[in-house]
Structure 1
């Protein structure tokens, strides 16, 4: 661990220095950002969602400062899967006046080893780590530290060699996005290069990312969290996790979508609201879930997924991506007569057949870093730009 220099001043980490979190929990070490409020977490019993919402995708420290050195002490929790290849350390992105200016990783921290075969997890405590950025200009500037999108991160201490102040309101619109692990940032290169972060940067909006890995399941508490969060633009990416988990049939899906939209509209009656259907995922286009690990690939050290449902069961209401896209389009058409600010975007416009041929999903489920960039650039235009 790097020890603070004598000429560095510690600044308390407070809510006005953080963006993208819906709640901050005081822990024995510092502050733990959450992407769901405490009351919503209390209604959840799923360990997957508990892990996902505590991973700070889109959460960043935002400072106005002349500092040339910035140090941040954190306590990360790094996860791994028994029998799978090691996961890389989470990346911290330093963005200065809107441009990526540095990257770092936090060595140390806690480790969580998950055994998918037994459903157990082994948690081992570790030391606080320090990330350090140096060589910044001594001019007034906006400094953002984007926290690792896939690594639970407790914020312990912030040190700089010049005073720090909250960044003033620039009048930028707030875009709130809810989706699956793809929106969360699975397999993106870094937290500021997930597709929602790229789209937000290109469109000049402030991101609140409620992409929750494995957990975009039309939960009522998620809808109420969105309802209660200030936003100028809202998008909801619905579908893939419902197939992954084989959670519901079409009979439950349709009213659940209506109910989710009704709840969001209670807090945002006229806010532009975009419903986005799933991107192309060949294994689930016409084959229902559940999705499982490909054990043959895992035996060779590769992490891949496979669909285990029976395509014939679609007739009985089992969900596939094709069925979900058709129904979401129909629901939005039906509702938009009375809700002119409600729109639909077919996810295959972000990643479709031609993209799949050029940039196939490496694990059959999640896009790689290049695909995140492509999706972000497209969404900036189709969802947030002149076409949105």
Structure 2
């Protein structure tokens, strides 16, 4: 920790943050959230509580002539019983839009999760300090992207020159909701989750509501999207509904309609793209729930398996193919009266050929290379001429 009196200490406030929808004030700092307090109050699921507090897409953004900076944080590390330790979360420095450094913070709180018993234990731990130096003394725009998969309490920002909030660049805001894949599971870092990469390629500012294990058509998530300013909106629906075995076909269709209706209450003419699931062979024709497969743990590999019976589709159990058909039907029906509603088959982002080349390491989640491919594909399909977001002009 730097103690030079010539350094400037700047309080971390909502004005320095991008991509967070709420900021909780703690005893020592602030904790960014991706769901507002009223939505969190309606949730009783520990998985969602953990996911929304992990700051995927959240970054500090400011302008300064500083040549060095320090950020004190208290991360929360996840420890899974019987599973090899996870690497520390990655912070990425971006200067004037270009990558300029990566670092991690050790220590912090620990959340020990036993997937077999369904329990979680939280233990407090010490704060740590992140440092970037060797920067130019020119006036520049700096972003520090927080770890996409590690809850991060922000305690103090210190620089060797004053800072001011980053100016509004006038870019369109893209609001996206999806599962752990959109959250960034197994991406190399916070700027290369597929939504962050696609946003960079598309020249838009990202608000990422990718919520690991929690893209479950929750009404409070729809209302959050309704109330969030955005010029472009997408929702990626399907895999969590299947691997949680949350609902049957009878409930799924009306729930999708209700979710879209709610979003449209706040954004009646905004380009709205509905994306179906990417290829996931274990659930293409086999219902959930998913369950962890510990058979490869001795070699450090956790995988997932589908535990449903394909015959149960006749009783309305959901598979990815069933969901893709239903989403295509719903969007086609609604698009007759909603010309700003669009559909994208997720297999155009990652399909059979991609799986053959870049298989899902654990059976559910793309690796870092596949994240990059999905992000590049989404940018081409959504932002290029003819795509749902081609003109990047949004409504209210």
Distance 1:299 1:314 in 2: 35
Query: What secondary structure does 2:197 align onto?
Result: helix
Whether the 8 Å contact between 1:83 and 1:301 is mirrored in structure 2 is: no
Q: Which residue of 2 aligns with 1:207?
A: 206
1:127 paired to 2:126: yes
Superposed CA deviations along residues 103-157 of structure 1, whole A, max 9, x for unmatched, are 0000111111111122222222111110000011111111000000000000100
Distance 2:125 2:294 in 1: 31
1:218 paired to 2:220: no
Distance 1:260 1:120 in 2: 31
Deviation at 1:169, TM superposition (A): 1.0
Q: Which residue of 2 aligns with 1:154?
A: 153
| Structure 1: stretches of 5+ with no match in the other structure | none
Distance 1:301 1:209 in 2: 30
Q: Which moved more, 1:321-330 or 1:122-131?
A: 122-131
Q: Which residue of 1 aligns with 2:80?
A: 81
RMSD: 0.8
Q: Which residue of 1 aligns with 2:294?
A: 295
Distance 1:59 1:355 in 2: 29
Distance 2:196 2:33 in 1: 18
1:262 paired to 2:265: no
Distance 2:248 2:38 in 1: 28
Whether the 8 Å contact between 1:329 and 1:344 is mirrored in structure 2 is: yes
Q: Which residue of 1 aligns with 2:391?
A: none
Distance 1:178 1:264 in 2: 11
| Structure 2: stretches of 5+ with no match in the other structure | 388-396
Distance 1:190 1:264 in 2: 29
Query: What secondary structure does 1:51 align onto?
Result: helix
1:310 paired to 2:306: no
1:91 paired to 2:90: yes
Deviation at 1:300, TM superposition (A): 4.2
Distance 1:145 1:280 in 2: 32
Whether the 8 Å contact between 1:175 and 1:208 is mirrored in structure 2 is: yes
1:382 paired to 2:381: yes
Deviation at 1:299, TM superposition (A): 4.8
Whether the 8 Å contact between 1:4 and 1:159 is mirrored in structure 2 is: no
Distance 1:236 1:130 in 2: 36
TM-score normalised by structure 2 residue count: 0.97
